[in-house]
Structure 1
Amino acid sequence: MLDIAKSSIPGPNGEPWDVLARFNEDTYGYLDELFAVYGTLFSLPLGNVGGLFLPHINDNGNWVFLTRPHQIKVMYESPDDVISGAEANKIFFGTDEASVAYIEGKAHRKRRQQLHPTFGGSRDYAELVLAELARQVETWPKGTPFRLFEKLQIMTSAIITEVVCGNMAEEDREFIRTTLLHTENAKNTGEEVLAADAGIRSLVARRIPDYRVWSAPESPDTLSLLLRLAEEGDVELTDEVIRDEVFSLLYTGFSTTANTLAWTFVRLLRDERVLGSVRKEIADNIGDGTITRDSVNTLPYLDAVLKEVLRLHPVTALNGVRLLKQDIELDGYQVPAGSILVHCAYLLQRSSEVFDAATEFQPERFLACSVDRYRWGAFGGGSRTCLGRGFSMNEMKLVVTKLLTDHELRAVGVGVPKAQLQGFFMAPIDGALVEMA
């Protein structure tokens, strides 16, 4: 049983590392237990989860979990002098770097604008995505169960490497593709993950001087873009910042997408009604035509399926974090400065107070209404909504459409598998086992 702590916001007592270990062991089970005991607003003494002491950031070690739309609205609509996304991210990820996730205000808005052409959804990557998918499918076994999630990670790591570092030498891109996989592998130790992180950053740092010399002016990859902006006079884009920005984009741009794709097939292959509706929509709108970025964006039911998957299976248990810089009052509680507010999409999006038939897989709920950003927050919210939302949604639509059009997959195992923490993300515990005919 959990002991109710005598504090302004209810929550369990305990040493931070003990609480964190319990949280990591059975994340969603623990959250369900906490919700049952403490209700819609509770705190956890998780302390400095990133493991890096940052003396210039004033935090009190309490993480306050928000599970209702009005709470999420406070988190995302409070002004910058009340909350800080950058400082919360630094505590969460254990870093003091200056890439887009870790800067505030005008600098943050400027960097997002600079990166928007790549990740905002306006650039067409359909040819790249479909070509890489075809290469990967050739390696998938037939008639033998395999872990689809791991195969999708290989694919998405290759895609994001081309998008971010596509003008690097092939041997460098191969190193990045394979090393990225070690940053989100449940079999690796913390030391191995950190070594993979350091290896990619080191490679990028070593290549930046030469890259400036021979990178083509029209190169569309993000590294070339950032170097051009630096050459044009953006003094904030130092070599160190560019290195960290490149790693951040690589890391956040591969396993998140693979995770949602894996859950999508977990759901589709176990629901004949929904699978049939997706297949029919593809046949009616694309048929034997070419699969393109434009054609997959004529598939509203597939779009609804992906949103429903993200509702039931958010990529992470901590969907957004903000550090309080001032005391606030929330639901009758005084929340002190130094607390970290957590957008808990799992408890929010599975609540019967927020969604009808909340635990049921019903994509139709997203067909007849617009998405309420405080009820459904798969990509975070406020000024820090996920930079790659458009890119990721396009990539997933292309992959699902192509796989369902050209291949026959079936689920292995009965029932929807449990979610397990892998790195920072919540993946199917069985790796989304499937078999391909």
Structure 2
Amino acid sequence: MQLPNLLKTPSLLQKIQWVINPVRFMENADQQYPDIFTAEGIGFGDNVVFVNHPQAIKEILTNDKKKFFAVAEANRIAKPLVGEYSVFLLEGDLHKQRRQLVMPAFHGEQMQGYGQRICSLTEKALSQLPLEQPFLARNLTQEISLQIILQVIFGLHEVEKLQKFNHLLLQMLNLFQSPLTSSVFFFSFLQKDLGTWSPWGKFLRDREQVDILIYAEINERRQQPDTKRVDILSMLMSARDDAGQPMTDQELRDHLITLIIAGYETTASAIAWGLYWIHQKPLVREKLLQELDTLGDFPDPMSIYRLPYLTAVCNETLRIHPVLMFSLPRVVQEPVELLGHPLQPGTLLLPSIYLVHQREDLYPQPKQFKPERFVESKFSHYEFLPFGGGVRRCIGEALALFQMKLVLATVLSRYQLALVDRQPERPQRRGFTLAPANGVKMVITGQSAREKPLVNMTTTSVF
């Protein structure tokens, strides 16, 4: 089978480069073959065709089930973490049905109810940091993101339960915080249980402890149903499929873990990148503060969410440092031509989010942080796609953006922060995502001039 622009590097070396430094791997390949190139043996099958031309991506994402099929099989690498029934691994009607069950939790009145909780959790996490002592912004955003997940998705509020979940989830998820430890997912020979001292053995035991807590919580909810609960776990437990059947315990577990993985790592990294760039660019920070001041005291969270310059800053953050490197792979269904290259059925295509966001013809000086891009221009869903696209677009996009905007706004309105290290941060693999390599080291230098919290923390929320 003839493939477009096949990289000449030996396949094993390609895989090592992809695991250790995916950004450099993609950029080097793109320099050789702009728009489209074929990598070999990097973990999705024998060969995978990277595509980063907007028109080609549009054709791929708008022809699902016809010329191109969104293949969840390519996500099998994540199965040990998310489980068999994760929406990452479901296809066809079952995938569509499960998405429809979850979608209401991320829209409308539910989202508005999350706003107060997000702001109050952010304020609480910040208040526990000492002044003038360095901290890693990504650790802070991890803490905030995980607490939002535990309270919004799980609906946990009892201190003891929160502490147990928090400890065990962090213990499991932080195992794969570097390219080296992440490699166990890409090289099957490393997936050996050699006891608690081995990375895979420790992962299996940590996963078991997390599962015990999740199944215990599900069982408790089944024994003591409460129709007034509005957290996402309760909504999933009350949902019924077309045959009137509820989800099994394992299905619930897999959906919850998927939401945790998708929401925790990605959102924490995106907010940390936002804090980095806002404090790298004093004029950006000043414009944001001026915009926030126009809202007065105790603005509605949705008013914060709609702020145009804050939206532009978040979009530019997600453009220059997308947490997700690519959209879900698609498989060619029938002979087709893409960018002048003939493709045969079975060819695996990978729409590259990172490379699209770095295109000079779309974003002049792409390495520069310029929120004004998103004020002066509008970009299509095939030019700016931080959450993927098509039928497999990230289901938690709305909540992620809502959380990102509210956390950044709360931090800026309440505290004065500064970067400790002026050296540029760089993206590094963290599991299946990209995160700031050094964690964004910062320090709180004082409180802001604003005397009151951004939103009324005493307002009764839906929780």
After TM superposition, is the score higher than 0.5? Answer: yes
Q: Which residue of 2 aligns with 1:101?
A: 88
Secondary structure of the 1:84 match is strand
Correspondences of 1:137-148 after superposition (within 5 Å): 137-148=126-137
Structure 1 residues 100 and 293, CA gap change in structure 2 (3 angstroms): same
1:291/1:416 Cα in 2 relative to 1: closer, same or farther (>3 Å)? Answer: farther
Contact 1:163 1:221 in 2 (8 A): yes
- Name the SS of the counterpart of 1:108 in structure 2: helix
Give the match for residue 20 of structure 2.
Answer: 25
Q: 1:260 aligns with which of 270, 273, 277?
A: 270
- Which stretch has the larger CA shift, 352-361 or 9-18? 9-18
Q: CA deviation at 1:291?
A: 4.2
- Using the TM superposition, give the Cα deviation of residue 231 of structure 1 relative to its aligned residue in structure 2, in angstroms: 9.6
CA RMSD of aligned residues (A): 2.5
Q: Which moved more, 1:410-419 or 1:400-409?
A: 410-419
Which residue is 2:34 aligned to?
Answer: 39
2:177 partner letter: A
Q: Does 1:426 align with 2:434?
A: yes
Q: Find the counterpart in structure 2 of residue 163 from structure 1.
A: 152
Select the residue among 339, 357, 360 that pairs with 2:368.
Answer: 360
For 1:390-401, list aligned pairs within 5 A.
390-401=398-409
Preserved contact between residue 120 and residue 388 of structure 1 (Cα < 8 Å)? no
Structure 2 unpaired stretches of 5+: 185-199, 446-463
CA–CA separation in structure 1 for the residues paired with 2:241 and 2:376: 48
SS at match of 2:367: coil
Task: State the aligned residue count.
Answer: 420
* 1:176 partner letter: F
CA drift of 1:175 comes to 2.8
Counterpart among 329, 337, 344 of residue 345 in structure 2: 337
Picking from 214, 224, 234, the partner of 1:224 is 234
Distance 1:183 1:427 in 2: 14
Say if 2:384 is the partner of 1:376: yes
The normalised TM-score by structure 1 is 0.88
1:387 pairs with 366, 389, 395, which one?
Answer: 395
Question: Judging changes above 3 Å, is the alpha-carbon distance between structure 1 residues 166 and 17 closer, same or farther for their aligned structure 2 residues?
Answer: farther
Q: Deviations over 1:73-112 (max 9, x none)?
A: 1221123254333424433424672232322333333322
Cα separation, 2, equivalents of 1:351 and 1:371 = 13
C-alpha spacing 1:80/1:170, structure 2 compared with 1 (3 Å):
farther
Corresponding position of 1:183 = 173
Amino acid at match of 2:275: F
Query: How far apart, CA to CA, are the structure 2 residues paired with 1:424 and 1:432?
Result: 20
Question: By how many angstroms is 1:264 displaced?
Answer: 0.6
Please give the per-residue CA displacement for 1:267-295, whole angstroms capped at 9, x wherever unaligned. 110111111111111112x23x1143222
Can you give the 5+ residue segments of structure 1 that lack an aligned partner in the other structure?
1-5, 50-59
In structure 2, the CA distance between the partners of 1:277 and 1:425, relative to structure 1 (3 Å rule), is same
Which secondary structure state, in structure 1, belongs to the residue aligned with residue 435 of structure 2? strand
Give, in angstroms, the shift of residue 176 of structure 1: 2.6
Describe how 1:3-82 pairs up with structure 2 within 5 A: 7-13=2-8, 16-48=11-43, 60-82=45-67
Q: Does 1:113 align with 2:100?
A: yes
- Alpha-carbon distance between aligned partners in 2 of 1:63 and 1:371, rounded to the nearest angstrom: 27
1:347 lines up with 2:355 in the alignment: yes
1:370 Cα deviation (Å)?
3.4
- How far does the alpha carbon of each residue in 1:401-431 deviate from its partner, in whole angstroms, 9 at most, with x for none? 1111110100122243111111111111110
Partners of 1:404 and 1:234 lie apart in 2 by 47
